[in-house]
Structure 1
Amino acid sequence: MTSLPQISLAKLTADATRCEERQCLQMACEEYGFFYLVEHGIPKEQIAQAIEASRRFFALPQSIKERYGHASQIVYPTTVRGYRPLCGEILHPEVGGDPKEVFDLGIENEADRRPFAGSTRFPDDALAPGFRRSLLALQATVLNRVVPQLGTALADLIYMEQGWFQRHFSPPTVGQRVIRYPARVGTCAKHTDGGFFTLLLQEELPTRSLQVWFRGRWTPVPSLADSLVVNLGDMLQALSDDRFKSTPHQVAHSGQTDRISLPFFIYPDVDARLTSPQGRAFTAAEVMLRNIELIDTGNGAGRARELQ
């Protein structure tokens, strides 16, 4: 693999090119489980603003960042929102804590008391200028311009009935992360993602930090200008009856500067009950809670324990 397939969201949703681009999308999902999404409609400036605001947040003194850690959050599970320090998360049990810093957020709805919902306690603008504002603005753009269009195309390709994605993802459950990989030593251990799909917005750096398990070896994935990286999750693999691949991946950042990464993990509404065409059934909540429990107890993310 010299490069991932490129899928155009604009072509995927245009009447004249939809059929051909969906064939390309199907190939990418069956063969790779990863692809670049181009012509996605997210302004480059909006991504840059979120990255810079995130960089300012991570530059704050440790004592200030820790005020916004899990203990200060009021959602359930508390570990899905707020700040997590270096080596505070284990994605593969054989490796231990990942040397990365994280801030987690989701869709903000103070009245929603269900698991994975509610509101995030952020630093205010005086401490972290533009941090909350830029991240939520980016979230709104992703949810309006990318998630429904891509999700509907994926649902059609796994033979779900018309309107299936809208019914189960209105709204979706979103795990939005801000990750800082320190220069030269930042890593994220090998794992799979547990959700439907993941969108990765990142800096365009020359170092190929992201690595994908493909045909028996770890293959670096270079940054591609004006693109997102999309990977499929375990939930979509199950709903496709294993036609689509939830591909293992990891990060090994050896660059001379820190790397900021902005992934969006897309899950169904937490109350959704899902069944594959061949009858594989589960609830969104049970899958999501099980994956969080595995991470929080140091047992790895997704199918991490299967990866040697």
Structure 2
Amino acid sequence: MTTLPQISLAKLAADATRHEERERLRLACEEYGFFYLEHGIPKQQIAKAIQASRRFFALPQSTKERYGHAAQDVYPTAARGYSPLYGEVLHPDAGPDPKELFDLGIENEDDRRPFAGCTRLPDDALAPGFARNLLALQSTVVNEVVPQLGMALADLLDMEEGWYRRHFNPPTVLQRVIRYPSTGGTAGKHTDNGFFTLLLQEELPTRSLQVWFGGCWVPVPSLPGSLVVNLGDMLQALSDDRFKSTPHQVVHTGPAERISLPFFIYPDVDARLTSRQGKQTFSVEEVMLRNFELIWETGDGAGRARELQ
């Protein structure tokens, strides 16, 4: 693999190109589980979110920890807020990762279900533009990217008409901002356990993201105007293993820190889903809670990390 397949969101939506582009998407899902998606998100909107995130992470440690898991009024508490360096374990053999992060989601104070509610975010005086720019980017991603890609993937799964709208109205979104320190930031090898993940990353010369393909780790550089998409374990299960949830890791050795903006997309947390052939059935809530237990409580890693040696 010299480069990942490139899929156009605009072509997925256009009548004249939809069929051909969805066939290219199907091949990408079956052969790689990773692909670039030409997205159309304003470049300046991404840049503002990255700049505001960098300012937040530059705050004193004691200030950032005021917005940690213990300060969040959600369940599980690890679903929102700040986590310091060495706070998260994505692979048990690697141990805690040298990265720091902040998690948020779709903000709804009346929603008390797991992975929902409101995030305690720093105000504009403390972290200028942090909440505002991250939530603006979330709105663009959730409203303009997720539905078009999600419906295309549901069609490829050959689900019944209206399946996507029924189970992703709204989706469950775990939005994350990650800071990898220079010359040593990592994220242990793992798979994502959701439906799919959208990754916006800085256009840096270092190739920190790596995908397991063909028996080796292959670097995935940033591509201007595109985000990286990887399929999750839920989508692999719903495809009866036709589509790949591909292992990946981050090894950042560049001279500058790296800001990464992933969006983990899940169905509605109340959904109970069955694959087209009926071989796989699962509760979204149960799968998500189990994954958080393995990461944050037992240290056994994310997704299928325990299968990756």
TM-score normalized by the length of structure 2 = 0.99
The within-5 A match list for 1:1-308 is 1-38=1-38, 40-279=39-278, 280-296=280-296, 297-308=298-309
Structure 2 alignment gaps of length 5 or more: none
Deviation at 1:30, TM superposition (A): 0.2
The one-letter code of the counterpart of 2:112 is R
Q: Distance in 1 between matches of 2:171 and 2:276?
A: 21
Task: Describe the SS at the equivalent of 1:146.
Answer: helix
- How far apart, CA to CA, are the structure 2 residues paired with 1:165 and 1:98? 34
Moved over 4 A (4+): none
SS of the counterpart of 2:95?
coil
User: Using the alignment, how far apart are the partners of 2:169 and 2:157 within structure 1?
Assistant: 19
Distance 1:162 1:47 in 2: 34
1:163, CA displacement in angstroms? 1.3
Q: CA RMSD in A?
A: 0.5
Deviation string, structure 1 residues 36-70 (Cα, Å, up to 9, x no partner): 001x1211110000000000000000000000000
Distance 1:120 1:65 in 2: 14
Deviations 1:70-122 (A, max 9, x none): 00000000001000000000000011100000000000001100000000001
SS at match of 2:116: coil
Give the distance between the partners of 1:140 and 1:16, measured in 2 at CA.
28
**TM-score, reference length from structure 1:** 0.99
**Residue identity opposite 1:164 in structure 2:** W
Q: Could you say what secondary structure the match of 2:101 adopts?
A: strand
Corresponding letter in the other structure for 1:192: T
Matching residue's letter, 1:298: G
CA distance in 2, matches of 1:161, 1:134: 37
Offset at residue 201 of structure 1 (A): 0.5
Q: Give the aligned length.
A: 307
Cα deviation digits, residues 223-248 of structure 1 (max 9, x gap)? 11111000000000000000000000
SS of 1:45's equivalent? helix
Q: Distance in 2 between matches of 1:270 and 1:227?
A: 28
Q: C-alpha separation between the residues in 1 aligned to 2:57 and 2:285?
A: 31
Describe the SS at the equivalent of 2:160. Answer: coil
Once residues 109 and 14 of structure 2 are traced to their aligned partners in structure 1, the CA distance between those partners, rounded to angstroms, is 37
Deviation of 1:273 (Å): 1.1
The share of aligned pairs that are identical, in percent, is 79
